[in-house]
Each structure stands twice: as C-alpha cells, then as structure tokens.
Structure 1
Amino acid sequence: MIAACAHSAGAKTSFEHVKAGYKPSDTLLLDRQGEVLHRLRTDTSVRRGQWVALADVSPALRTALVLSEDKRFYEHSGVDWRAVSAAAWANLWNTKTRGASTITMQLAGLLDEDLKRSNSGRSVVQKLGQTMAAESLERGWRKDQILEAYLNLVPFRGELVGIDALSRSLFGKAPHGLDHREAAVAAALIRAPNAKEAQVTQRACSVFKTLEPTSANKAASPSSGGCEAMELLVASALARRDFAASEGIAPHVARQLARTTVGDGAAPATIRSSLSAPLQRFAQQALQTQLRELSGRHVEDAALLVLDNASGEVLAWVNSSGPLSAAPEVDFVTSLRQPGSTLKPFLYGQALAERRITAASLLEDSSTQIQTTGGLYIPQNYDRQFKGWVSARTALGASLNVPAVRTLVMVSPDAFQKQLARMGMPLKESGDFYGYSLALGSAETTLLNLTNSYRTLANGGRASPTRLTVGRTPPPFSPALDARAAFIVGDILSDPMARARTFGTDSVLATRFWAAVKTGTSKDMRDNWAVGFSQRYTVGVWVGNASGAPMWDVSGTTGAAPIWAAVMNQLHRQRSSRAPQPPAGLVQKTVTVEGEAPRSEWFINGTEQSVFAMEKGATRAYSTGARGQNDSKSSGNSTTNTARITAPTSGTILALDPDIPPQAQRLSLEAEGSNLRWLIDGKQIAKGNTALWLPWPGRHVIQIVDNKGKVLDQVRLEVRGAGVKGGASAAPAPTRRP
C-alpha cells in the first residue's frame, strides 16, 4: 500500500509542476520590457530567492553537493542500496556513520509533507514511503532536474531556503559565483543547517578536501593553514546578512504594486510595471547630479515623475534622492507640498474659459492690498518689483503674482478649488479656506496629482487617472477644462518671449523642440517645482527638504528646472515634439498691446479684438473684479474719479505695538490724485498725496477731499490697543517710510 501511494504521488508530481509552484519570498518588479527594476521581500515567514537553473549554479557547488551527500547519485535509481547496507551493518555494530539517504530521497521528503523529517527523525513507515517516492521520481525525472529542484528547495541555515537565498545572504553573490571554499561551506550547511560554527568549519574542511585533492596537506586538519582560512570564511559568512529586503531603483513603486496585487493571497513572484528601466536610471542620475551641484545651498531631497500623455502610464517614478536624503524612505511623489506658482496655468485657463479675460487682456501688476476676513492680503512678486500694465500672456509666462491674485478675485477661490479638483488635483480644504493666496499655491498637493493635472492640459483639458501597469485599453477621459482655454495656456507656457521679463530669452526652460513648462517656488523657498509637457510626455520635478526647512537661494529655475530639462531632452533625443493643433472655436488675430510688441494672438470665438490699451487719463483700474475682453479698458473720461486712497484699505484692523511708545507709532496714508486734503473723522490733518497719522484706539473714517470739500474717496478702519488720545495731527511725510 505504501509503495502504491508513493508511486501515485511521484507520478503526479512533475518537475514542471514543482518549478511552477515555487514561491520565492521576494517579488521582482519588472519594467515594461521585462527588465528587473527592484526586488522586494513580501513573505516574512521564510527566505527564498528566485528559482535558479542548474546551469546557473557554480560547478564547484554541484560537485561538492554530490560528493558530500550522494557520491553515487549518477549511478543509482533513487536508493543507494550499497549505502543502505553499510548503514545497516554499522547500526548492527553500533558504529557511527552517515545516513543512507540519497539526494533523490531527500527531495522526496521536501516535496511530500507526510514524508518530512520530524524532530525525532522519520518513522519506519516514512522511510519506506520515502524510498518508494525516490524510485518514482527517478522514473519520471532526469538527474539534472532532481539536482536543480533539490538545490532550490533544500533548507540551509535559519530561515534560508534554497541556494539563491544562501548565496546572496551569506556570500553576497549569485549562485554561479561560488568558489570551492564557499561551495564547501554551503554543502556543510546542508548536512547540519543550524550547527555551531566550529562544526560547520570542520565539515566544510572535509568537503573542501574532497574538492581539492592537491590541497590535502593544507586541509588535512582543522589546525592547518587551509582550515584556518576556512574558519575565517565560515565566521564571516555566518555573521553576514547581505540579502537586503528591498533592493533596486524603484522601491515605492514595488511596494505600491505589491500591496495592490496581493489581495487575500500571496504576492506574485514578478510584477510587470509601466516603468522604463533606462529612463528610470537616467532620471535618478540626473536628479542626484543636480542635488550635488546645489551642495552648500541646504538642499537634500527631490522627486521626479514622467507620464505618457496618451495612456497615463508612469514611465519614471523617482521617489527621493536616495543616499543624499536624510529621509530616503519617504515617497516625495505622493507627499503633500505647496505647489507655488505652478497652479497659475489652471487659474488663467479657468478665467479664459469663462471669458473673463483673453490672452491679450491687460492686467495690473502693482502694489495692492486685498481685504480678507483674516486681515489684509498683500501679494508680492518674486523680484519685489512691479511691471505695471501687462497682458495676461506676459503675466502667466513671466509668473507675476499680483495679476494672478487679481485674476483669482475675478474667478473666486471656491470656484478655482472646484476647477483644480476637475483637473485631478483635489485639495483638503475649500477655496475660501485658502483665500486669495490660493493663486500663488498656498494649498498642498502631491507631485503625482500636479503632474497629472499638467497632463490634462496636454490632452486638451481632458483628465484621466495615471497607472503603474501597462494596459491594453486607453483610460477613460473626462472633460475638465475647455479645450480652447487649455490650448491657449499651453501656447503661453511654450512661448519664450512670454516669460522673457522674468526668465530671459535663453533660460534653462528653453528646449530645441516644442514644450510647455512652468516653474514654481513656495514661501521661503521651501519647495520648488518645474512641471511641463511635450507632445507625448509630461514631466514633473520637485526639489526641497523633507523637514520643510528653507533652501538657500534656490528657485524653480535653479533647483528643479535643470532636472526637468535634462529628462525632457533625454526623452526627445531621437523623438520630435510638435505643437498641438488648435481645436475648433479658436481664432488667431494680430493684436497691438500697450507696452508690448505687436503679435499674433489666439482668442476664443467672440472675444477677439485688435487693440488693448489704457485710455488716456486712466491711472489705475478701480476694480479687480472687471470681466470680459473689455476689462483692459478704463473709461478715464472723468477726472473726479481718478483720485482714490491706495493705503490703507477699507476694513483694515491695526494693533498698536505695546513695546513701542504710542507717540512713536505712525500710519502711512497714501492716495492718488491732485490737490488732495486728508480728513480723519471729519477733521483735516494734512494736504497732499501722502501723510503720516498718529493713530489712537477706535473706529475711524479716513477721507480725501478736493479744494471744494467734495469727498473723493474714503476708507474705514479700526485701531486696537492703548494709544494717545488727541493725536489727530499729522506729521509731514518723510522720504522713507518708518
């Protein structure tokens, strides 16, 4: 009955079945072409490497295994009856000798749970079953298949199972690289996996002696020179654990895909991703090279993402700067950071789509104070300078902050927050929570969402999710932005003349092929970005510090942009990139814009006009909420309306500093117009366009009037804190504001 069962089990177990059922403890992440990108341990109960073909095993190890475990392996048919007889005779005379178990019999025990050796050894029934199963294996398998399966399934030391795990853990190399001494140690561990170091050394010396007969004198005894070297090798090998749990160039992608593919079962041995191994390596190298160039500027972290525009497949995902980072395990592709000016293209795109502005509309870049529930919001440009009246094309291309804030006043923060969500960039809070600073990127988003939103622009305003695996069907797209507005924004971001005022005409953003790009820097230079797209690819780069510490004089053009340019140039080394075709509903018209060179401009049907200029006598726009293509024009026909208070803004709340004497504190009053007089709560305090007022606690009305006493403008404000009552006088304006 035992023989029949064993024969049946052996007949059903084929070599191909065993090999196919082998489960390594690691999952290999492959790129889109099948190249290994990363190895990740996904089974913590055992340590198995990949299945190793017999041809890839060191000849020294194959020889050592046969000589150590089964000298007549190639002669017997599963059972070495000569060894069985010798063992039986030795047992009769109570003489210690090695067992008669062959490699085939040991393999049978590894394949069948019922035949596995227990702590007390195998029973007589198990030994008989093992014998029959071995003979059955020999009838169905070749010798090389038996030896290959045994080397991959045999337990070695501790959790190590199989020759791949042993070689990489104890010797730090692949199985094909084991020399004679290392092969001897491996063979010694098969016999006694958890033996003490001295026993392993003695056994390894004995095996080495059989491998190197000419070295018999050196390896004759444990005290000889050969075994002294073996002792050092065993000691270092048993103390080493070089088989890292994670190894490669895409750790976070490997973990992410392993989690999504495991489900309720075991992780697969291999996962094919959408990444490109050559591009991943190049991107990683470009990123680290740029950070080394920034050495001394307090920059240590960066991340990069490359997307295929059509499919949404991720082609490169560099999560951090690796060894250069103090937090290499943090995935900065999915970390929340402030995007800075990289949100501006979506804002202008929304304003264009809603016909609030055109690309040629004039926007005012000047000092402004916007009243909010939290106080005054006073946006500043990066260079702390103002350009006056500029077109929307220049405002976006040169990344001017004040025009962007004025545009958000037209659109409203809450509507802009909803637009960002449609683009694939959901925010944690409502638009009103961020207020007008949302135009300058005060919210937090991830590099993944930001880059994919730029991919939405590249796809004509159509959004779809990204994916890390190669798919046969394209992802479903959903409309997120008017295709005409998306085209105009892309045209502006690709225009080197539009960004010339800030970046010059020969910046690192200029490419020899068509590409649209935008940089951004968050407050105090804590984050900087470069995100852009070509005809086929979208590339996003973030540079900063994991701790959130500011960088030292590192902006988007000096930090992230060189990485973006290097990767984009690599992508188009042998591939062209053409500008997209304009969608239906666009017209191109030659325009004259005040202060800018004549040019050909794109318009959404119905918004086109040929001249954009301020009328004579107009000095400043009176409302940041003007709409339509005619917003660039001011009536300028009435001189009585040209006078206004520019500082402070109505609704201002001032707090007197308790550490400064009240008499030494002054509020600067500024206005535009001519022949002005200043009134505080109906009392005249000064004449001219500027004045300094000694504030006191309470609510006040500040007015400017003409020579006839007509009120031209007024603001209301509140002063809090202890002050000096009766200080209603004003001092003459000094040349420098205190």
Structure 2
Amino acid sequence: MQDEQQRPERAQASATTSQEALHSTLTAANEPTQASVQAQAPGNEERKGLVATADAQVVDADDDPGKTAKMRVILPAKLPAHSRAAAAQRLSNLPLKAPRGVYYPVAHLLPLAPGWRTRRHIKRKGLRESNARFNEAERKGSRWGFMPLAIIFMAFLVVAASSITLYTALYNSTEQLYGSKVTTLQDILPKDNLKMYDDQGQMIYQMIDNGVQTSVPYSQLSPTLMHATIAIEDQYFWSNPGYDITGIVRAALDDITAHDTVSGASTITQQLIKNTILGQQRTAIRKLQEILLAPDVTRQYTKEQIITMYLNTIYYGDQAYGADAAAQIYFGLEDKPNMPAVKQLDLAQSAMLAGLPQNGDYYNPWLHRDRALNRMKDVLHNMNVQNYITHAQELQAIAEAEQQDFLKPMQVHNDLAVHYSAYTLRELMDKLHLKAGDLSRSGLMVSTALDLAKQNQVLKIAQKHIAENAKIHNMSNSAVVVMNPHDGSLLTLVGNINPNDPKSGAFDVASQGLRQPGSSFKPFIYATAFNKGVSPGDHVQDGPLTINMCCGLPAYRPTNYDMKYHGNITYRYALQNSFNIPAVKLLMQTGVDPALQMALNLGITTYAGVPNYTMVLGSLSVHLTDMVSAYSTFGNSGKHVTPHAITEVRDSLGKVVYRPDMNAKRVISPQLAYLMANVLSDNNSRTFEFGKCSVLYLYSTSQSQCYAGNPGPIRPAAVKTGTSNDFRDNWTVGWTTDYTVGVWSGNNDNSPMFNVTGVDGAAPIWHDTMQLFEQGHPIRNFTNPGGLARRGNDWYIPQK
C-alpha cells in the first residue's frame, strides 16, 4: 500500500529525471564521451544504472494508465572520430544562443550608415525609371529595331550581287577579247629587230631604227639577272598565281594616300600581259583585266616561259628591248656563239639592268647616272634581304658600278658590208613582199652567202688598183661582184670602193647603177649566132660597113676601137680581140630581137636604151649584177639560177620562213655554153690585142715570169672586157669552173676617163679577185658535153 502511495511520486520524479537527462543529452550530443544519467525510482531497481542519451525516448505512465512508466533509451552508434558521419554529427555542436535581453558591456556600431534609407529610395527610383525606359525601347524595338539591320543586309546583298555580276561581265568580256591572245602569247610577243649574218654566222647588219631586241632561250639567260629582277619586281614570282594580293592592297593604299597612281604592284606576269596584250593605258579596268588574265597565263605557261618572255621583251630604255639588247647598249657586250650578251652579265651589271624596267628612260644610266645608281642599290638591298647575295657582294657590286668605265657603248657593225646588206634588204622585201618599215621589228634572222673575209680583201684589191689609176686615167671608183654559177649565190658585192663616203658611198653601182657594158655585151650576140649554126671558125670580112637607117636617120657606120680594118678573120678571132664591125655584121645576120632575147634569157633583167644594131657595141645600159648572172649561165652549162644573196630566213622562234629557189632553169644547150667557154678562154686568139700574158690569163707566176715562158699552172677562164664610148666605163666579166666575177670601173658621175680600156682598168681587179677565190681549188678545164661537130678547124652546133 505504501508502495502504491509512493508510485506517483516516483513516476513524477522519474519523469523529471528523464527530462533533465534528455536536456543534458541534447546539450552534449555527439560529444566523444557520453553523459550518464542515474535514474532512481523507488521500487524499480532494474532501472538503476541506465544511461540516457539525446536519442532517449520517454514513455509517460499517464499515456498508458494500466502500466508502470518506463523509459527506453536508444544509444547512438559509436563512430570513428575521423569519419564523415562523425564530422556531420559535430556540425550541430554550436553554443546555445544567448537569451534576448542579455547585455554585453562593449561598444556597439551602427550596422548601416545614416541616410541609407534615403539613398536606397533614390536608387530604387532611378532603377524603376531605367527599367521603364528599357521596356519602352524594347517595346518599340519589337516593331522597328530590326529594320536598319534588314536594310543593311539587303544593301549588302545588292552590292554583293552587283559585284558578282560586274565581275562576271568583266571576266567574260576580258576572256572574249583577250583569251585567244593568251593562248598565242608567244606568237604576239614584240619581234626582234632584223639581223643579217654572213656565211660564217657573223652579224654584218641589224636594223636599229625601231630599237634593238634579241630573244634568247631560258638556258641562255643570266641567273643573276633573273634573281635581281625577281627580287625588285616580284618577290613571290615562283609561287604566286600571277598576281599578288598584298601588293595590290599596298599599292591601293599608296594611291589613295597620294591621290594619284603612284604604285603599280604589278607582278612580272601582269607586266608581261600589259606589254603584250592590253597596252600601256593606266586605268582601273586595265588593272583588273591584268589580274583576271594573270591566272590564265600562269596556267597556260610555265614560270620559266613567263620569265623568259618577260626578259626578252621588257623595255630597258635607250631603245633597248629585252635584256640581251640592254646588255649590248649599256655595257658593250656582244653576242657570241652559245654565249649571248645577256649571259655574260655580272652581278653589278645585272642589278643595274634589273632596276630599269620600272621606267627605262627615267633611270637611263647614260643620262641619269646617279638616279640609276640609287635604283641599283635598291635592287642589291632586296637581293641581300632575300638571301640571293651577301652584304659583301652587295658592296662589291656598288663599288664596281661607281667606276667611270662601268658603262660602255654598243658596237654596231653595220658598215661591214654596206652595199651587200642593202642589196639583201631589197631582195628580202621583194621575195617576202614586205615594205621597208615592216622589216625593222620583223624578228627575221637573215643568213646570206657573203664571204665577209674575201669581201674585205676584194675591197682592198679594188681600192689598190683604183688608186694606181686615179691620177693617170681619172678613175675613181669600181664595183665587183662574185657569184657561184652553180647555185646563184652572191659571194661578194662591192658596190663602191668608198662605202663610207658621205657624198657617193651609199650608191651601189653594182646593183643600182645602169652602165654601158661596151664589148662585154658581144657574147650574147655571138651566142645567138652560134646557136643557129655559125661556127667560131667561120670567116668574116672586117672592113668598112654602112647601114642605112629608116625614117630619115643618118646611116650607121661602125668602126673598130683602133680605127683599123683587119680583113678576113674568124669570128673567134674577132670576138677575142673585140672587133666591132664583125660583131655588127653578125647581129645583122641574127637579128636584134633574137639577140636581145638571148641576153634576157641568160640573165639580163633590166636595161636602158633602144635595142638596135649599136647594142652589140654595148649601147644598152645594164647592171653589173645582171651581167654576172648572164655569164654564170655560160659557166653552169647553160642553166640559169637567179642570183641571190639570201640563203635562208628564219623568224625569232627559229622557224624557216624563206629559202631561195636554187633550181636551175635551162636556157641554152650545154653545147652552146661549152662553145662560148671554149672561145672566150682562148688566150692565143686574143694575143694580138691583149698580149700573151695579159691579166685575162690566169697564170700562177708573175707577169714577167709568164712572158719569160714560165706561166706556171694555168687555170682556164673565159672572160670578156668592155669599154664604153669616151672611156666612161671599163668592164671585165668572166668565169671559171667555180666562180663568175664581174668588175666595173669608172667614175660615180659617169664622167670620161683618160685613155683606159677594160683590160687596163677593170681586168687587173678581175684577175686578182679570181685568183683570190680560186685559192685551194683544183684546176679544172671546161668539159665538152659532146654533140658538137667540126667544121674546118673549129666547132659548131649542128642544126636539126
């Protein structure tokens, strides 16, 4: 009973104890040591010594009236102090907050400065206004904000479309206008100036009135010049597509800054296009066309071909087109076999030339030495920067260029064979149907048959003999022509012994002068008669002759030059001693027209005068070249080959454009040709007039030895002299089995000489010239072709 009365008090005490234990447990929760709570309850000994924790759960007896109040204690898991779970439990180990109203005796600061509410109000007000303006702008922008962007975008599209359209139109028009020229660029390059060469390949003449240009292949170009040109004109030549974008932009900025065109930025390819296709007009369209065509040229041609075309045609000033011409004009270098002038350039010369294409006349070193030298230094600097040369080489080149003799004038050798060159040009114009103005830059390379060494010797021979006769016979000039009768090639043509005489030296008597041939025309009449069956051994009476003329003209009475008659003589004797009366009688027998036609068939192309009986005495004026051509027909067994100085003509690419027709045309029989050679080489028949050892006789010793009976080996030669009235003209024309030589001597003004005949005036020149050309040739006699018959002691041509 007592226990029942004390149960509520124990329960209450137990509850109180449990609450205190719980509070203590909560305060020391998750501590490393656990708080122990002694639960003492009367009559309930089993609860003594129990431990309560923060997780203890209390069951109140009031909640279950029929049971004794019990407390269940749940112990937390024991965790390692370093584990994450233990650390998480320790997060709540915070001190209890102090109860409100507790005063700490320390100084207190205001958390906010005074007036912060006012400032916050103003700030919020401004923020509201800013938001309002932004919202308004956003509202309006939803309707109008994208319009400017749309306009700009549309404008961009219009500009882009227009640009593409213009580019396409310009590209198409450029291709249409110039596309074919790109394909044939090598054919439309500026042509070289015409050049003429002798039979050994030595240049004897070049036309320089429209500039000098000599194209050479890539292998013959100077590598140093190429490096210098690329360094100053187009640094990225080997890799660019024909144009340089960075250079174009730079040039555009320079032009805009200067308000003028001051920079071109043209690559080597563009410059080539400008010079050969588009022209020199400086416009934006032309520049765009350059850029459009440059890739086409780069695709069509290799870089080696492009640089070759460029260096062969670019203008270097002072009428020098191309690097080879510039090397000649500025440094006096000359083209040699397999070594053109351009390949002989050193570094200093190459750098000087590389600076000229920008403006050849402005930097012309002959006229502006300092300006050209400064430009050269720029070239050398670029070469150094681009690792083509060293600094030492740069300084050495500058030192060389500063020497006084650095520049040397070009040697033009157009006086080597003045009249031969002029004759060749006339022949060229006739055969190719060109005008003189078309030849200068035709690019033609003309090879001739000229033997320049012998031509110079012949000139000296003629000058020597004319000097000997000048005072005695009033003789001042001579012309000599040497021809190969078998192919018609003119080996020598001396038109005047004073080719450099400013008054008369330019006149070519041999091919331009019309002179009376005297008795040297007689073989054409005799050939006409022999062809009709007359024999050289037939007799004719050399006596007085009167020919009545028609139409009231006085009678014609020919006389011999010695004013004598020689009686009954043979035609052979009459021809070899150049008697006139037998020749006139023979012409009367053959007829004037047939005899003239014989002369024309043999090679006479032009004559002046009236053909009549006097023409057998040489009254018709003819060219020396025609007389040599006609006599060559005799020397070529009756076959005529048109005389020619040209042997071959090639263009700048080496293609043959002309060769002369050397096909022989038979105009007389071999029998007639041999008969004429047999008569005109008969030295015994002409002894009466000319002597046994005259200059018409090709003996191999001196004249005195010949007269002493020792002529040495004799070279057969058929030859005829001629003298016109008043001794105005001396002629000697003859041939051997190898050559035909014709000589004229007289005065340029056609004034009379003093008592000199062909054997004294022209024959000595003929003799020495023939001997000169025959040196080293075997002695051969004229060959009888057969078909001739004998009448008496002489030959004749049987008539069918």
In which range does the TM-score fall when normalised by the shorter chain? 0.5 to 0.7
Alpha-carbon distance in 2 for matches of 1:538, 1:243? 28
User: Does the aligned pair in 1 maintain the 2:511–2:623 contact within 8 Å?
Assistant: yes
Q: Which residue of 1 aligns with 2:185?
A: 18
Determine if contact 2:454/2:492 at 8 Å carries over to the other structure.
no
Separation in 1 of the partners of 2:589 and 2:756?
32
Query: 1:277 aligned to 2:426?
Result: no
The residue that corresponds to 1:147 in the other structure is 307
- Using the alignment, how far apart are the partners of 2:330 and 2:413 within structure 1? 8
1:500 CA drift (Å) = 1.6
For 1:200 and 1:299, how far apart are their aligned partners in 2?
A: 51
**Selected match of 2:213 from 24, 45, 49:** 49
Q: Deviations over 1:141-187 (max 9, x none)?
A: 44433222112222343765333444455555444255666555544
Which residue is 2:574 aligned to? Answer: 395
Structure 1 segments unaligned to the other structure (5+ residues): 592-600, 607-738
CA contact (8 A) 2:537 2:791 kept: no
Select the residue among 584, 591, 594 that pairs with 2:787. 584
Q: Which residue does 2:666 correspond to in 1?
A: 477
State the partner residue of 2:195. 28
Written as runs of structure 1 = structure 2, the 5 A alignment for 1:124-163 is: 125-157=285-317, 160-163=320-323
**Aligned pair partner of 1:404 in 583, 596, 603:** 583
Aligned residue number for residue 736 of structure 2: 534
Query: 2:458 matched to 1:286?
Result: yes
Among candidates 204, 211, 225, match of residue 372 of structure 2:
204
Q: Are residues 1:328 and 2:531 paired? A: no
Task: Tell me if structure 1 keeps the 8 A contact 2:363–2:372.
Answer: no
* The one of 220, 229, 239 aligned to 1:65: 229
The question of 1:602 aligning with 2:795 is answered yes
Q: Quote the Cα distance in structure 2 between the aligned partners of 1:172 and 1:320.
A: 30
Change (3 A) 1:360 1:11: closer
Gaps of 5+ in 2: 1-166, 335-340, 382-390, 648-658, 699-713
The letter for the 1-side match of 2:457 is Q
**1:491 match:** 678
Seen in structure 2, the aligned counterparts of structure 1 residues 281 and 20 have a Cα distance that, compared at 3 Å, is farther
Assess if the C-alpha contact under 8 Å between 2:317 and 2:364 holds in 1.
Answer: no
CA distance in 2, matches of 1:171, 1:331: 38
After superposition, where does 1:74-89 map in structure 2 within 5 Å?
A: 74=238, 76-81=240-245, 83-84=247-248, 86-87=250-251
Give 1:559 shift: 3.7
Which structure has the larger Rg? 2
Cα pair 1:586 1:604 within 8 Å, conserved? yes
Q: In the TM superposition, what are the counterparts of 1:638-677 in structure 2 within 5 Å?
A: none
Deviation at 1:343, TM superposition (A): 1.6
Corresponding residue SS for 1:277: coil
Q: 1:122 maps to which residue?
A: 283
Q: Counterparts of 1:349 and 1:108 in 2: how far apart (Å)?
A: 64
Q: Is the counterpart of residue 381 in structure 1 residue 545 in structure 2?
A: no
Q: Deviations over 1:491-527 (max 9, x none)?
A: 1111121122222222322233333111222223322
- Please list the CA deviations of residues 297-324 of structure 1 after superposition, one character each: whole Å capped at 9, or x if unmatched: 1544433334444554545444443526
Is 1:195 matched up with 2:362? Answer: yes
Q: Deviations over 1:240-295 (max 9, x none)?
A: 9969799875221223212430359955533656x4233x5424531343223321
Matching residue of 1:705: none
Whether 1:342 and 2:520 are equivalent positions in the alignment is: yes
User: Structure 1 residue 338: deviation in Å?
Assistant: 0.5
Choose which of 727, 746, 758 in structure 2 pairs with 1:525.
727
What amino acid is the match of 1:203? R
Call closer, same or farther: CA 1:573–1:56 in 2, change over 3 Å. Answer: same
Q: Does 1:304 align with 2:464?
A: no
Query: 1 or 2, which has the higher helix percentage?
Result: 2
Counterpart-to-counterpart distance in 2, 1:408 and 1:92: 90
1:300–1:324 Cα contact (<8 Å) kept: no
Give 3-state SS (helix, strand or coil) of 1:543's partner: strand
Give 1:403 shift. Answer: 3.7
Q: Is 1:445 the equivalent of 2:634?
A: no
Question: Is the 2:538–2:570 contact (alpha carbons within 8 Å) kept by the matching residues of 1?
Answer: yes
Structure-1 separation of matches of 2:413 and 2:776? 37
Shift in alpha-carbon separation, 1:337–1:172, aligned structure 2, 3 A? farther
Task: Tell me if structure 1 keeps the 8 A contact 2:521–2:616.
Answer: yes
Instruction: Specify the alignment match of 2:206 in structure 1.
Output: 39
8 Å Cα contact 2:479-2:745 kept in structure 1: yes
Secondary structure, counterpart of 1:381 in structure 2: coil
The 3 A distance-change label for structure 1 pair 244 and 572 is closer
Q: CA contact under 8 A between 1:10 and 1:136: conserved in structure 2?
A: no
Letter in 2 for 1:499: R
- Measured in 2, the distance between the counterparts of 1:126 and 1:473 equals 51
Q: What SS does the corresponding residue of 2:621 show, helix, strand or coil?
A: coil
Count residues with an aligned counterpart: 571
CA distance in 1, matches of 2:258, 2:511: 68
**SS of residue in 1 equivalent to 2:215:** coil
Cα-Cα RMSD: 4.6
Q: Which is further off, 508-517 or 316-325?
A: 316-325
* 1:322/1:379 CA distance change after superposition, 3 Å: same
Task: Identify the residue that residue 252 of structure 1 maps to in structure 2.
Answer: 423
Letter in 2 for 1:101: S
Contact 2:631 2:740 in 1 (8 A): yes
Contact 2:635 2:735 in 1 (8 A): yes
- Structure 2 letter corresponding to 1:446: H
The letter of the residue matching 1:66 is I
Give 3-state SS (helix, strand or coil) of 1:150's partner. Answer: helix
Q: Which whole-Å CA distance do the structure 2 matches of 1:86 and 1:561 have between them? A: 77
Q: Distance in 2 between matches of 1:603 and 1:317?
A: 36
- Correspondences of 1:234-253 after superposition (within 5 Å): 249-253=420-424
Contact 1:29 1:254 in 2 (8 A): no
Cα deviation digits, residues 196-219 of structure 1 (max 9, x gap): 879943431123335496598899
Question: Do the aligned residues in 2 keep the contact of 1:32 with 1:272 (CA within 8 Å)?
Answer: no
More strand by share: 1
Which secondary structure state, in structure 2, belongs to the residue aligned with residue 65 of structure 1?
helix
Q: CA deviation at 1:339?
A: 0.4
Please report the TM-score for the alignment, with normalisation by the length of structure 1.
0.64
Structure 2 letter corresponding to 1:359: P
1:420 paired residue number: 599
User: Is the partner of 1:578 in helix, strand or coil?
Assistant: coil
2-side partners of 1:127 and 1:447: how far apart?
59
Secondary structure, aligned partner of 1:496 = coil
Instruction: Give the percent of matched residue pairs that are identical in Structure 1 and Structure 2.
Output: 25
Contact preservation (8 Å) 1:39, 1:246: no
Give the TM-score normalised by structure 2: 0.60
How far is the alpha carbon of 1:447 from its aligned partner? 1.7
Closer, same or farther: CA 162–399 of 1 in aligned 2, 3 Å:
same
> Where in structure 2 are the equivalents of 1:506-517 lying within 5 Å?
506-511=693-698, 512-517=714-719
By how many angstroms is 1:410 displaced? 4.8
- 1:112 CA displacement: 3.1
Asked whether the equivalents of residues 22 and 51 of structure 1 are also in contact (C-alpha less than 8 Å), the reply is no
Matched residues in 2 for 1:423 and 1:95: separation? 75
Q: Which amino acid aligns with 1:269?
A: G
SS where residue 733 of structure 2 aligns? strand
Q: State the distance in 2 between where 1:484 and 1:92 align.
A: 88
- CA contact 1:169–1:243 (8 Å) conserved in 2: no
Query: How many Å apart are 1:440 and its aligned residue?
Result: 2.1
Q: Distance in 2 between matches of 1:181 and 1:140?
A: 33
